[in-house]
Amino acid sequence: MQRIAYFGGTFDPVHNGHLSIARALIDLFGLDRFFFLPAFHAPHKPDRQPTSGYHRFAMLCLATSLDPKISVSTLELEKNEKRYTIDTLAELHAMHPGSRVFFVMGADSWTDIRTWREWESVLLSADHIVVTRPGYDISFDHVTDRVRERIVDLRLGRPAKLHDTSERRIFITNAIQYDASATELRLDLSDGHLDRKEDIPVEVAEYITKYNLYT
């Protein structure tokens, strides 16, 4: 059975925190494929105008071009409208019959999960991997008992049979501790200068300069 992970997000821009997660989870979960899944954003979102999906997609492709198991999915960008994860998950299962599909999120997304449409169904309808993020706690108080029963907290040690279970689970891992944030990088770039160069792959940094993004 193939093991495939999808990592949803804005990736505006992709940074080394995102890439460290992909690389570590491929090893930890024995994944066959790992997909970044950039989200479509309505052009006039109230909070902030996101960078065009074309640019976000291009930066992800540049950042992952040398990783044979890592690809970028156009599934949500192509829809040209905001997609809810519950619908995306149904589509992913239909696209990969017989595979185990893991959905990846960071600790901040886990904390906010109750704001997601049909959040309990989202958590029950696939395997999930929640990765810790510096500065964010992971608690389980905000989810239901049905969800809590699925949790396998790998921070407490790795169960011998991690790869044998065929039941859907919510895995919590602290295998990656990389303190980077797209918001902070955009702020850093907004004065035309990138101080935290080490947080962005060089190809992505060059792309940002060439296309004059975030200034």
Label residue 112 left, alpha or beta by phi (over 0 means left) and psi (-120 to 50 means alpha).
alpha
Listed in sequence order, the residues at least 6 apart from 156 whose beta carbon sits closer than 8 Å to its beta carbon are none
CA dist 137 and 51 (Å) reads 29
Kindly tell me which of 15 and 145 has the beta carbon lying closer to ligand ATP: 15
Kindly tell me which of 144 and 183 has the beta carbon lying closer to ligand ATP: 183
Residue 73 near ligand ATP by CB under 6 A: no
Residue 62 near ligand ATP by CB under 6 A: no
Amino acid letter, residue 182: A
Q: Are strands 100-106 and 127-131 parallel, antiparallel or unpaired?
A: parallel
Site for ligand ATP in 110-169 (CB under 6 A): 131, 133
Residue 65 near ligand ATP by CB under 6 A: no
Residue nearest to ligand ATP (CB): 106
Q: Are strands 3-9 and 100-106 parallel, antiparallel or unpaired?
A: parallel
Residue 109 near ligand ATP by CB under 6 A: yes
Shortest separation between residue 155's beta carbon and ligand ATP, angstroms: 14
Continuous segment of H or E residues that includes residue 127? strand 127-131
Shortest separation between residue 182's beta carbon and ligand ATP, angstroms: 3
Question: Under the rule (CB under 6 A), what is the footprint of ligand ATP?
Answer: 9-11, 17-18, 105-106, 108-109, 131, 133, 178, 180-183
